[in-house]
Amino acid sequence: MERQLREHFQGAIGDDPGVGSGDMVRAAIVEGAGLRRRRNRLTGAAVAAGMVVVVGVTAGLNLFAGPAVDQPVTLAAAMMPVVAASCTLQPVERDATDAVIFLDQEIADQQRAALEALLLADPRVKDMAFESRRQAYERFRIRWAHEPDFVAAVSVGQLPESFRFRLVQVSEYTAVRLRYAAVDGVAEVIGRRCPADAPVGGIQ
């Protein structure tokens, strides 16, 4: 299956150079989902949370965030939110306007509350929004409505909670990132450059 998906993805690149990388990734994922359904009908096996969805694109939180590399994208990566079109696709290491803090799956209520209090009191944070697992799941369900088997493989508890915020000054991002990456309950901090009219955090 991996070889077929690689050929599909490379063919998409060669046949239509005008298509954006995000569209090609989505096409490859949809193809992967179709192959899984056909395989499951033949074998009767359930969809596994750890299955490989597509090969040849960036793994992890950068699902739609840049050029393809020779690494697998997992189901967990496919569940990540989509970057707003007006923001930089690749995360940046400095001078970010917006950031997303993804929380650990096992974060305690006290840790979440403490992190929220820190963000609300931080003068470097201009605007902030929180997305619960339920909200993240609803966004995911709508996004993948055309792939019911894929949606059925995911539970609410698998989607990450997140805090999204906009910075007062882009020059403060590096320090902000280091500060919150060290807070208990934080899985990762991702920054992007976005225009003022983009959604807070750079997530659509």
The model's pTM is 0.65
Answer whether residue 87 is part of any domain.
Answer: no
> For the residues 171-177, what does the mean pLDDT come to?
97
Q: Would you place residue 13 in the very low, low, confident or very high pLDDT band (cuts 50, 70, 90)?
A: very low
Regarding whether 130 and 175 lie in a shared domain, the answer is: yes
pLDDT digits (tens, 9 = 90+) for 98-147: 999 999 999 999 999 999 999 999 999 999 999 999 999 999 999 999 99
Number of domains in the chain: 2
Q: Mark whether 125 and 183 lie in a shared domain.
A: yes
Rg (CA), the chain: 18
Domain at 137, CATH number: 3.30.70.3040
Task: Map tokens 């201009």 to a residue.
Answer: 126
Q: 35 or 128, which is more confident? A: 128
Q: What is the pLDDT of residues 154-166, one digit of tens each?
A: 899 989 999 999 9
Lowest mean pLDDT among 15-29, 72-86, 127-141: 15-29
* Averaged pLDDT, 22-28: 43
Is 93 a member of any domain? no
**Does residue 92 lie within any of the structural domains?**
no
Q: What is the model's pLDDT at position 74?
A: 60
DSSP string for 129-193:
EEE-HHHHHHHHHHHTTT-HHHHHT--GGGSPPEEEEEES-GGGHHHHHHHHHTSTTEEEEEEE-
- In this structure, which amino acid lies at residue 57? V
Give the model's pLDDT for residue 103: 96
In a domain, 164, yes or no: yes
Q: What is the pLDDT of residue 26?
A: 44
The candidate with the shortest Cα–Cα distance to 109, out of 182, 184, 201, 187, is 184
Alpha carbons 106 and 103: distance in angstroms, whole number? 8
Classify residue 72 as exposed, middle or buried by CB count within 10 Å of its CB (0-12, 13-18, 19+).
middle
Mean pLDDT, the chain, integer = 74
Same domain, 58 and 131: no
**Half-sphere exposure (Cβ direction) of 64: Cα atoms closer than 13 Å:** 22
- Residues, the chain, total? 204
Q: Same domain for 52 and 113? A: no
Separation in Å, CA 46 to CA 39, 120, 153: 10, 43, 9
Q: Per-residue confidence at 81, pLDDT binned at 50, 70, 90? A: confident
55 and 8 assigned to the same domain: yes
Predicted local distance difference test score (pLDDT) of residue 76: 64
pLDDT band at 24 (very low <50, low <70, confident <90, very high): very low
What's residue 71's pLDDT? Answer: 39
Rounded to 5, what percent of the chain is helix, strand, coil?
45, 15, 40
Residue 91 lies inside a defined structural domain of this protein: no
Question: Is residue 114 in some structural domain?
Answer: yes
Determine the pLDDT at residue 16: 42
What does the alpha-carbon distance between residue 164 and residue 83 come to, in Å, rounded to a whole number?
Answer: 12
Q: What is the pLDDT of residues 36-70, one digit of tens each?
A: 444 444 333 333 333 333 322 333 333 333 333 33
Domain extent, residue 71, equals 2-78
pLDDT at 84: 93
